[in-house]
Amino acid sequence: MARDRFPLKLLLVGFGNVGRELARILVNRPDYPALKDLDVSVVGITTGSRKSLANERGVDLARALRELEEHGRFTPANPDYSELDSLGAAETLDYDVLVEMSPLSIANRGEPAISHVRTALERGRHAITCNKGPLAFGFRELRRLADERHAGFLYETTVMDGSPVFGMARSCMKGNTILKIDGILNSTSNYVLCAMEKGSSFAEGVAGAQAEQIAEADPSNDLDGWDASVKIVALANVLMGAGLEPNDVDRDSMADVTPERVREAKGRGFRIKMVCSAWREDGSVKASVKATEVSLGHPFALVDATGSIVRFETDLLGKILMTEEDPNITTTAYGVITDLYSLNEGIR
Amino acid sequence: MARDRFPLKLLLVGFGNVGRELARILVNRPDYPALKDLDVSVVGITTGSRKSLANERGVDLARALRELEEHGRFTPANPDYSELDSLGAAETLDYDVLVEMSPLSIANRGEPAISHVRTALERGRHAITCNKGPLAFGFRELRRLADERHAGFLYETTVMDGSPVFGMARSCMKGNTILKIDGILNSTSNYVLCAMEKGSSFAEGVAGAQAEQIAEADPSNDLDGWDASVKIVALANVLMGAGLEPNDVDRDSMADVTPERVREAKGRGFRIKMVCSAWREDGSVKASVKATEVSLGHPFALVDATGSIVRFETDLLGKILMTEEDPNITTTAYGVITDLYSLNEGIR
C-alpha cells in the first residue's frame, strides 16, 4: 500500500556515485538545516556486483559507506549483509519508495530498471527513478500503472541532475500548453566541444572529460548523441504527452563535428552546441539532437563544459529558461530528495 | 471563510494593463486548452478613477473590456455598474480571492494596497497581490494574518512578471537553504543601459523605453533603483526570512551611470547591469542594487532590454538560474493564474 506521509523507508537499487552521495547527505543531515522535516530511512541497498544490505529498522549508512570505501563491496561482517538481488529486494522487502539508480542500458531498452520500477508500482509502492530508461522506453505503461495503484512515480534526477526541470513544469506552468522544449543536456559532448574550441583534438577533448570524471570509461552513449536523445525523449514523453523512443530522434553524433568546423564557426562568432529539441508538428511531437551554431548572444552559447540549460516555450508563460551552473554530485543526489518531498506532499 | 476549491470568485482591485489582460484571457479561455480546469469568475472590479463593477453572478468581462476601450471608464449604462470604492468592495463583496492590482506607492509605504490585502485576509478570504507594496512594507504582518485565518496570500506576479520565481523556490527547492539571490529585475533601467551602449544619451534611452511602453510616464522609481530595491526586498523577505524595507537596500541610481562609463566598459568587454542582490551576513540578510560590470561570458550579460534573470545559490541544489525572455502582458497576467492554481491546490 502506498503511504501518504513521512517517514519514508527507501530501497536503494544501485549504489554508485549518486546513491552514495544521497547516503552521505542523510548521514550528515545536521549540515543541511532546511532538511529537518525529511524523515527518511534506508531499509535496503542492492548492487550489481557489490552485494546487498537489508535491515527493516534501517541500514547503517555510515558503515555502508565506510565498507565500500575500504573493501569495494559489502561484506558478511556487516550485520545488514544480504544476498538479495535487486529484483528480489524489490519483490520482497518492506519499503515505501524504490529508488532506481542502476546504470541505463539502451541496448536492453531500459531493462532491468523498468522491471524494478514496475515491481514496486505493482506492489503499490512509490518509485523514484534516476535511470532514464523507464522514461524513454516505458513511460506510458509505468505512469498508468502508478496511477492505477495510487503510487508515486517521479524522476527529477534524470534530466539536468537535481535541477527541478520536471518540478517546475509540474508546479509552475499549470494551465500552459508546452509548445516547444530545447536545451543542452549532455555534459560530455559539451565539454568536448568547448575543448575543441580551445584547440584540442576530439580525442584530447574526450580524454579531458574522462580525466575530470564527466565522461564514463565508455563515453560512446554521450558522444553518439544517445544520452541527449534519451533525455529529450524523457522530457517530451512526460511534459508533452509524446510516445517517443530514442530511435525516433533525428540524432547527430559528435563524430559529425570536427575541430576544424568548431573553430571555423568560432571565427565567425558562433559556438557549435549539441541542441536537443522537441516540438509539436502535425498533431504529434518530434524530437532532434543537432549540432547547431548558436551566436554568442544566445543563452545557449554561455553553457560551458558541464553546465546545462533548458528552454520551455508555452502559450501563456512565454519563453522561460532554466540554467544549471557547475553541477556536482550533491546537486544530482538532491534530485532524489526533491522527489521525496514531492511524495510527502501527495504528488504522484 | 477561505474556500479550498474551485470555483473561485475574484474581486479585481485595479483594472490596468494586467487586469485587463487577465480578463481577456478569461474571456478567450478556449484559446488556451490547458486552462480547462480553471473555474474562475469575477464578481467585482474596482478602479481608482474609472468607477467599479459588481455582480455576484459574475461581471460581464467582455462588456467591461469594451466599455473601457470605448469610454475610458465604466458607465451607469452597464448593469454591473457600482459606486463602490476598492476598500468598500474588499469589505463587503462576497469574493473568494482579492486580486490587488492597484499601483505601488513607495511614498505611502505600500498603502492602500496593504489595507486591501489585510481586509481580505481578516475576512478569511485569499489575497493575491501584483502590487509589490505588501511584500516590501508589510510581509510579516500579512503572512502571519493569512496563516492565522488559513487564507492564501500569494504574489507570483510581483517579481519577473509571470515567471515562477516564488513558485520554483516554494515547490522545487524544498530542503534547501537559500544562501544568496541575485538578478536583473528592472526592465526600464536595463533598457536604458542597452540603449546607452548603442550610443544613445540617457534621455534618449528613457524616451525609447517610454515609447515602447516599458517605462511609465514618471520613470523615476525605475531609474532611481526603487523598483529594483522593492523587488529584491520582496524576494529576501519571502524566501530568506528577511525583515527588510526598501530603504535598507544599498542602492545605486541610474543617475550614477553615464553613457561614457557604459561605453568605456563595453570597450573592455564588459556590460554594466543593475544587479540586485540579497545575501546572508552576520546572522541577517543584506541587500543591494548596484551598477555592476559583468563580463560577456556571464549569464547576466545576455539580459537585453526587457528580459530578466534571477540566480539562486543554495546549499543542496547549487546554483540555478531562471531567465525570462521577451515578456509581455500575457506573461504578467499569467502570474495571477498560477497563483489561482496554487490556491486550488491548497497552497496558502
The minimal CB distance from B168 to the residues A38, A168, A319 is found for: A168
Is B337 a domain residue? yes
Phi, psi of B324, deg, nearest 5 = -110, 125
Q: Are residues A152 and A210 in the same domain?
A: no
Q: Are residues B215 and B150 in the same domain?
A: no
| pLDDT of B33 higher than 70 | yes
Determine whether the interchain pair A325/B337 forms a contact, defined as Cβ–Cβ distance below 8 Å: no
**Burial of residue B200, with CB atoms counted within 10 A of its CB: 0-12 exposed, 13-18 middle, 19 or more buried:** middle
Determine whether the interchain pair B296/A296 forms a contact, defined as Cβ–Cβ distance below 8 Å: yes
Q: Are residues A37 and A73 in the same domain?
A: yes
| Side chain identity at residue B28, one-letter code | N
By C-alpha distance, the chain B residue nearest A299 is B302
By C-alpha distance, the chain A residue nearest B31 is A315
Is A167 a domain residue? no
Q: Are residues A319 and A198 in the same domain?
A: yes
The least confident of A125-129, A183-187, A325-329, B186-190 is A325-329
ipTM of the complex: 0.92
Q: Are residues A224 and A97 in the same domain?
A: no
Q: CA-to-CA distance for B71 and B78, rounded, in angstroms?
A: 12
Phi, psi of A124, deg, nearest 5 = 75, 15
Angle of helix B259-267 relative to helix B187-197, nearest 10 degrees, comes to 70
Mutate to test the interface with A, among B155, B159, B161, B172 (most CBs of A within 10 A): B172
Q: How confident is the model at residue A1 (pLDDT cuts 50, 70, 90)?
A: very low
Which pLDDT tens digit goes with each residue over A14-25?
999 999 999 999
* CA angle in degrees (0–180, nearest 5) for A161-B182-B286: 125
Question: Average pLDDT of chain B?
Answer: 94
The minimal CB distance from B172 to the residues A164, A296, A325 is found for: A164
The minimal CB distance from A318 to the residues B167, B327, B338 is found for: B327
By C-alpha distance, the chain B residue nearest A318 is B331
Which pLDDT tens digit goes with each residue over B47-87?
999 999 999 999 999 999 999 999 999 999 999 999 999 99
Local structure of residue A14 (DSSP, 8 states): -
Q: Which chain A residues touch B297 with a CB distance below 8 Å?
A: 302, 304
pLDDT number for residue B346: 86
Which pLDDT tens digit goes with each residue over B110-143?
999 999 999 999 999 999 999 999 999 999 999 9
Query: Is A167 in a helix, a strand, or coil?
Result: helix
Say if residues B254 and B290 touch (Cβ distance below 8 Å).
Answer: no
* CATH number, residue A303: 3.30.360.10
Mutate to test the interface with A, among B334, B340, B345 (most CBs of A within 10 A): B334
Q: Which chain B residues touch A325 with a CB distance below 8 Å?
A: 299, 311, 318-321
Residue owning grid cell 532611481: B224
* CATH number, residue B338: 3.40.50.720
Is A3 a domain residue? no
Q: Which chain B residues touch A315 with a CB distance below 8 Å?
A: 31-32, 34
Q: Are residues A98 and A216 in the same domain?
A: no
Q: Are residues B246 and B119 in the same domain?
A: no
Is B305 a domain residue? yes
Chain-centroid distance of CA B221 in Å reads 14
Residue spans of alpha helices (H) in A150-186: 165-172
Which pLDDT tens digit goes with each residue over A262-311?
999 999 999 999 999 999 999 999 999 999 999 998 999 999 888 899 99
Q: Are residues A208 and A151 in the same domain?
A: no
Q: Are residues B202 and B272 in the same domain?
A: yes
* Closest by Cα among A295, A323, A290, A284 to A307: A323
Is B2 a domain residue? no
Q: Are residues B279 and B305 in the same domain?
A: yes
Q: CA-to-CA distance for B345 and B286, rounded, in angstroms?
A: 33
Q: Are residues A13 and A92 in the same domain?
A: yes
Determine whether the interchain pair B34/A315 forms a contact, defined as Cβ–Cβ distance below 8 Å: yes
Q: Are residues B294 and B229 in the same domain?
A: yes
Is B3 a domain residue? no
Q: Which chain B residues touch A307 with a CB distance below 8 Å?
A: none
Q: Which chain B residues touch A296 with a CB distance below 8 Å?
A: 296
Chain-centroid distance of CA A346 in Å reads 22
Please tell me the total count of domains within chain B.
2
Is A2 a domain residue? no
Say if residues B189 and B235 touch (Cβ distance below 8 Å).
Answer: no
Print the domain residue range for B275: 171-324
The minimal CB distance from A315 to the residues B32, B173, B296 is found for: B32
* Closest by Cα among A10, A333, A343 to A162: A333
